[in-house]
């Protein structure tokens, strides 16, 4: 199957832009590059695609503005740089998109934002509202307060979490390299670009090297971790060089650039169907079950508080907590049996039903987070 065929049904895209991509070899961020990204996003939106951006660069921009010569390991300095750089960075993005007649919305988050139920639900509601109103959401890690993320984190992982939790079809990571090579291209002149990866096994991970510049924190290994997060969520991922002409537009529309990590197409098709299907009933769940659902785990009967509506096994139902719809899924039980097992532990299901059956109310592969 060609790249264009693989990406033919992509509707929602997350674009991750690294620090070195923003700098483009300069001492400060490249306005020309940011303008080009805005132009490409506009072209994609005109084709009916929703685009979200995860941007790095706040610390790098802040260090330049503060005239700090090196890339320090001192956490307070990096936090201060993030605070300074974030406002500069967002102003530049806002200017670039305004030149294309578009608004941007800033979304500051940390890697654990989605771990908190209320934060996760509210954030997804905000993102959907921004997109519905034609605003381009621009995410960045809240480096001014997130000590752990500054020391160990990276926006490759953050972008994968955003892609998986917003039900994106594709994540494009722009980098300082053209993609995944079969060996380190800085050490081996005969290294070959790997155009497509379907299985993230140890042979693929053995190809990964480290970050090639001093400004970024994400090397190839973190990108492979991001690809794994995406694959589990039915989202494909592309690594491409930001130096390629129109890299964003070309990657999304199926040009053979970079390396594509292909998700399970059947999972993607199923997710689309579940998302668009009419819900025949509603399951209200408790807070513990919410975390499992947001983590793309199966919904167990013990987490169900109540069952509404009349539905058969195999029909789509809404999943609700505190009146907020957080997901949809394919029911493993009809409404009568679902009511009988609601709130019960797996060991008690046989007694409640009079037979052995699924221990899951909804399988993880049949869940779509909204």
Confidence of residue 267 (pLDDT cuts 50, 70, 90): low
Residues 322 and 214 placed together within one structural domain of the fold: no
* Exposed / middle / buried, residue 315 (Cβ in 10 Å: 0-12, 13-18, 19+): middle
Residues 306 and 190 placed together within one structural domain of the fold: no
6-36 pLDDT, tens per residue?
A: 898 899 999 999 888 888 777 778 999 999 9
For residues 274 and 341, which has the higher predicted lDDT (pLDDT)? 341
CATH of the domain at 109: 3.40.1160.10
CATH of the domain at 322: 2.30.130.10
The mean pLDDT of the chain is 87
Residues 38 and 77 placed together within one structural domain of the fold: yes
Whether 345 has a pLDDT exceeding 50, the answer reads yes
Residues 203 and 293 placed together within one structural domain of the fold: no
Whether 170 has a pLDDT exceeding 80, the answer reads yes
Whether 348 has a pLDDT exceeding 80, the answer reads yes
For residues 95 and 295, which has the higher predicted lDDT (pLDDT)? 95
Q: Which residues of 132-165 are buried (b: 16+ CB within 10 A; e: fewer)?
A: eeeebbbbbbbbbebeebbeebbbbbbbbbbbbb
Residues 70 and 155 placed together within one structural domain of the fold: yes
| Residue % of the chain over a pLDDT of 70 | 89
d(CA 78, CA 71): 9
Residues 248 and 303 placed together within one structural domain of the fold: no
- Domain presence at residue 209: yes
Range with the poorest average pLDDT among 153-162, 194-203, 255-264, 295-304? 153-162
Confidence of residue 146 (pLDDT cuts 50, 70, 90): low
Residues 11 and 112 placed together within one structural domain of the fold: yes
Range with the poorest average pLDDT among 8-17, 69-78, 200-209? 69-78
- Domain presence at residue 106: yes
Residues 59 and 86 placed together within one structural domain of the fold: yes
Task: Answer with the one of 265, 286, 304 that is the final residue of a domain.
Answer: 265
Confidence of residue 216 (pLDDT cuts 50, 70, 90): very low
d(CA 78, CA 362): 44
Residues 188 and 64 placed together within one structural domain of the fold: yes
Question: Taking phi first (over 0 means left), then psi (-120 to 50 degrees means alpha), and beta for anything else, what does residue 14 get?
Answer: beta
* Angle at the Cα of 43 from the Cα atoms of 48 and 160, rounded to 5 degrees: 70
d(CA 341, CA 14): 39
pTM: 0.76
Instruction: Assess contact for 267 and 365: CB atoms under 8 A.
Output: yes
CB atoms within 10 A of CB 19: 25
Distances (CA, A) of 82 to 15, 75, 176, 205: 21, 10, 21, 31
Whether 278 has a pLDDT exceeding 90, the answer reads no
Confidence of residue 151 (pLDDT cuts 50, 70, 90): very low
Instruction: Assess contact for 176 and 219: CB atoms under 8 A.
Output: no
Range of the domain at 229: 3-265
Confidence of residue 125 (pLDDT cuts 50, 70, 90): confident
For residues 272 and 296, which has the higher predicted lDDT (pLDDT)? 296
324-330 vs 367-369, strand pairing mode: antiparallel
- Domain presence at residue 271: no
Residues 245 and 321 placed together within one structural domain of the fold: no
Mean pLDDT of 243-264: 95
Residue 75's pLDDT is what?
80
Q: What ranges in 209-357 are assigned the alpha helix state H?
A: 220-232, 247-252, 265-276, 287-294, 335-341, 349-353
Residue 310's pLDDT is what?
95
Task: Answer with the one of 240, 265, 290 that is the final residue of a domain.
Answer: 265
**Residue owning tokens 């090297």:** 209
- Domain presence at residue 270: no
Mapping DSSP to helix (H, G, I), strand (E, B) and coil, where does residue 79 land?
helix
Cite the beta strand spans of the chain per DSSP E: 12-17, 50-55, 104-109, 136-141, 170-175, 196-197, 236-241, 259-261, 281-285, 304-308, 316-321, 324-330, 367-369
283-303 pLDDT, tens per residue?
A: 999 999 998 998 889 999 999
Instruction: Assess contact for 344 and 352: CB atoms under 8 A.
Output: yes
d(CA 237, CA 231): 8
Residues 327 and 184 placed together within one structural domain of the fold: no
Residue 206's pLDDT is what?
86
Residue 210's pLDDT is what?
53
d(CA 275, CA 319): 12
Mean pLDDT of 158-164: 89
Q: Could you give the number of structural domains in the chain?
A: 2
Residues 176 and 283 placed together within one structural domain of the fold: no
Rg (C-alpha) for the chain, rounded Å, is 22
Whether 238 has a pLDDT exceeding 50, the answer reads yes
- Domain presence at residue 169: yes
- Domain presence at residue 272: no
Highest mean pLDDT among 57-66, 245-254, 272-281: 245-254
Whether 212 has a pLDDT exceeding 60, the answer reads no
Mapping DSSP to helix (H, G, I), strand (E, B) and coil, where does residue 287 land?
helix
Task: Answer with the one of 209, 240, 265 that is the final residue of a domain.
Answer: 265
Residue 44's pLDDT is what?
98
Distances (CA, A) of 298 to 171, 241, 363: 24, 37, 5
Instruction: Assess contact for 109 and 159: CB atoms under 8 A.
Output: no
d(CA 241, CA 255): 13
Mean pLDDT of 184-188: 84
Mapping DSSP to helix (H, G, I), strand (E, B) and coil, where does residue 193 land?
strand
- Domain presence at residue 186: yes
């Amino acid at each position: 199957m060609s790249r264009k065929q693989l990406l033919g049904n992509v509707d929602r895209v997350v674009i991750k832009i690294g620090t070195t991509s923003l700098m483009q070899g300069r001492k400060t961020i490249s306005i020309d590059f940011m303008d080009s990204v805005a132009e490409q996003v506009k072209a994609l939106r005109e084709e009916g695609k929703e685009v979200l951006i995860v941007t790095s660069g706040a610390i790098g921009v802040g260090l330049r503005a503060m005239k700090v010569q090196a890339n320090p390991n001192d956490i307070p300095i990096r936090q201060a740089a993030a605070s300074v750089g974030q406002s500069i960075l967002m102003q530049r993005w806002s200017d670039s998109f305004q030149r294309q007649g578009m608004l941007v919305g800033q979304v500051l988050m940390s890697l654990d934002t989605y771990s908190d139920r209320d934060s996760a639900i509210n954030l997804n509601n905000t993102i959907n509202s921004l997109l519905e109103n034609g605003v381009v959401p621009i995410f960045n890690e809240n480096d001014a307060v997130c000590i752990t993320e500054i020391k160990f984190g990276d926006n490759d992982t953050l972008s994968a979490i955003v892609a998986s939790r917003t039900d994106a079809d594709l994540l494009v990571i722009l980098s300082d390299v053209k993609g995944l090579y079969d060996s380190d291209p800085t050490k081996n002149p005969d290294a070959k670009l790997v155009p497509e990866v379907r299985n993230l096994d140890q042979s693929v991970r053995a190809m990964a090297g480290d970050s090639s510049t001093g400004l970024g924190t994400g090397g190839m290994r973190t990108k492979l971790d991001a690809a794994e997060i995406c694959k589990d969520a039915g989202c494909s991922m592309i690594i491409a060089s930001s130096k390629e002409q129109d890299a964003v537009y070309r990657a999304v529309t199926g040009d053979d650039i970079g390396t594509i990590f292909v998700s399970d197409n059947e999972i993607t098709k199923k997710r689309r169907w579940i998302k668009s299907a009419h819900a025949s009933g509603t399951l209200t769940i408790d807070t513990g079950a919410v975390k499992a659902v947001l983590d793309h785990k199966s919904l167990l009967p013990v987490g169900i508080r109540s069952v509404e509506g009349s539905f058969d096994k195999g029909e789509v139902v809404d999943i609700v907590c505190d009146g907020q719809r957080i997901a949809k899924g394919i029911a493993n039980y009809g409404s009568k049996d679902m009511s009988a097992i609601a709130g019960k532990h797996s060991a008690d299901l046989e007694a409640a039903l009079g037979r052995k059956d699924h221990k899951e109310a909804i399988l993880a592969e049949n869940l779509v987070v909204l």
